[in-house]
Structure 1
């Protein structure tokens, strides 16, 4: 079965920001926030410690029979826009790339023009989480407010796919109702919500509630990092399988897309296991697996 990984990160340099301030490499794949908090194995040893290159990602993809991948951005590693653009330009048959920007930037009009009109990115990614997203180093903002509406409207006008990570359930950024209102204002734009709403197993009712609200014809969900969001658990990740079952029952298998969130998750398990926890499960039929692993992402991103 052909596979598309809908949630992958390249890292030219660790240049992140988060609630702990700037995040920078201290060698061997580890990084440290300005607060002194250390993030161990931010880049797992298999990558050599300092970068995650397109060629390294392609090697993992080839080893696991993954045809294509979507390269996303986030504050955690720091925006990698030019590096991502170069990777897509070099391997256009294997990668689709998303660009990111800070909507508080004074020159955001110039930034957007360069990224989406000159470089030609067709996907925009916003992580708004309180841990390492927009709300980690800015004030809490409404997802249906004026600042975000500017971002939605620009993306809608340019025909972009809008990928959004609203952070973990329970955080100030987890604004499902506000996101619903924003999406309803842009019925012709594709929205992808990361991590199946990032709800742990102890909040199943909130997962059901959130999915019901976002059960809209222009909304899809990636399943990246779900085995660990639904943890603590171990392969074959029965907790994550149950969340996928809920997603299937509420929004449908055709609204979900396989994704891993590599590289960071590879410090916890193998890529093969992130594939097989669903591929070898009876949660999805063979036809549904075809949609989750390939067809839907191909339609949405490629």
Structure 2
């Protein structure tokens, strides 16, 4: 089965801030995250470097053909690094550019990213809710950016705040720009009240849902994440199996589980059909992001088998 990861992250070093608080790489995979020491990546990443090469090794081991690399403000803007990643590994990665939406002029920045070859723009919209106030996604500059993206065929990758908090803004964007391709992340913040309203956005023709972070959201029940399977099944009932894509949220999620476990629970469940699994795990993302010529990494037996 061809498997594509629709939500992952890469960075060389975390050295940024969000909402006035620091995020900085420490050691042994840990980071200062908003004033708290956390295990940001697995402890074997002792220098905190979350590189494309380590990810490819994980992808090959788990037989994942390709990955979409999104961005997050808590990692710092990674445009320069990701542009190089896609140049070096064009058949393995589809990367998203990201702008500084906290300052005027980001629409011009988005145009420069598009001119430099980025085929998607990321908005971590849940991070637009600051202590100092909320940045709306339907401001004139935002809407102008979406218009340019629609015209040029650029994908919008967006993570929304809990439940239906930002669904109204998204509906306005979709209505104004019906041909803008949109991928909504974190599976609608499933486990929060009103998450189904985010899923229902995929009833619009160019909107998809991806499951990056779903194992984090169901971390309390752990593998085999039966609640996550039930949520996927419910979402198929809401929007259809052809509107959903698997995403891992690598590498943060693999502090608790292996990379393969982040999709293995879908493969092994009896609650989904083989066709639903194939669509969710790869076929939908292959079509939506335009991957071509993908190969399935060969299986290598574990020494312990």
Q: Summarize deviations over 1:253-301 as a string: whole Å, max 9, x none.
A: 1101011001111111111211111111123211111111111101111
Tell me, in whole angstroms, the C-alpha distance in 2 between the residues paired with 1:216 and 1:116.
25
How far does residue 135 in structure 1 lie from its aligned partner after superposition?
2.6
* TM-score, with structure 2 as normaliser: 0.89
Q: 1:195 aligns with which of 165, 186, 192?
A: 186
Q: Summarize deviations over 1:33-85 as a string: whole Å, max 9, x none.
A: 5x6x2241112223233211111000000000000011111101111111111
Partner SS, residue 169 of structure 2: helix
Q: List alignment gaps of at least 5 residues for structure 2.
A: 291-305
**Closer/same/farther in 2, CA of residues 121 and 217 from structure 1, 3 Å limit:** same
Partner SS, residue 70 of structure 1: strand
How far does residue 138 in structure 1 lie from its aligned partner after superposition?
6.0
Q: Residue in 1 aligned with 2:11?
A: 11
Q: List alignment gaps of at least 5 residues for structure 1.
A: none
The 5-angstrom pairing of residues 208-219 of structure 1 reads 208-219=196-207
How far does residue 91 in structure 1 lie from its aligned partner after superposition?
0.5
Tell me, in whole angstroms, the C-alpha distance in 2 between the residues paired with 1:19 and 1:106.
17
* Residue 138 of structure 2 corresponds to residue 144 of structure 1: yes
The 5-angstrom pairing of residues 106-145 of structure 1 reads 106-117=104-115, 119-129=116-126, 133-136=127-130, 139-145=133-139
Q: 1:247 aligns with which of 232, 235, 250?
A: 235
Q: Residue in 2 aligned with 1:178?
A: 169
Verify the 8 A CA contact 1:177 1:213 in the aligned structure 2.
no
Verify the 8 A CA contact 2:122 2:156 in the aligned structure 1.
yes
Partner SS, residue 296 of structure 1: helix
Tell me, in whole angstroms, the C-alpha distance in 2 between the residues paired with 1:87 and 1:257.
22
Q: Residue in 2 aligned with 1:259?
A: 247
* RMSD, aligned CA: 1.9
Partner SS, residue 188 of structure 1: coil
Tell me, in whole angstroms, the C-alpha distance in 2 between the residues paired with 1:213 and 1:156.
17
How far does residue 181 in structure 1 lie from its aligned partner after superposition?
1.7
Q: 2:62 aligns with which of 61, 64, 74?
A: 64
Aligned length in residues: 290
Q: Summarize deviations over 1:126-168 as a string: whole Å, max 9, x none.
A: 0011xxx233376213333324212312211221010100122
Tell me, in whole angstroms, the C-alpha distance in 1 between the residues paired with 2:28 and 2:44.
10
Verify the 8 A CA contact 2:149 2:155 in the aligned structure 1.
yes
**Closer/same/farther in 2, CA of residues 137 and 301 from structure 1, 3 Å limit:** farther
* Residue 221 of structure 2 corresponds to residue 227 of structure 1: no
Verify the 8 A CA contact 1:3 1:67 in the aligned structure 2.
yes
Verify the 8 A CA contact 1:43 1:49 in the aligned structure 2.
no
Q: Which has the higher contact order (CA 8 A, sep 6+)?
A: 2
* TM-score, with structure 1 as normaliser: 0.90
Tell me, in whole angstroms, the C-alpha distance in 1 between the residues paired with 2:250 and 2:267.
18
Q: Residue in 1 aligned with 2:159?
A: 165
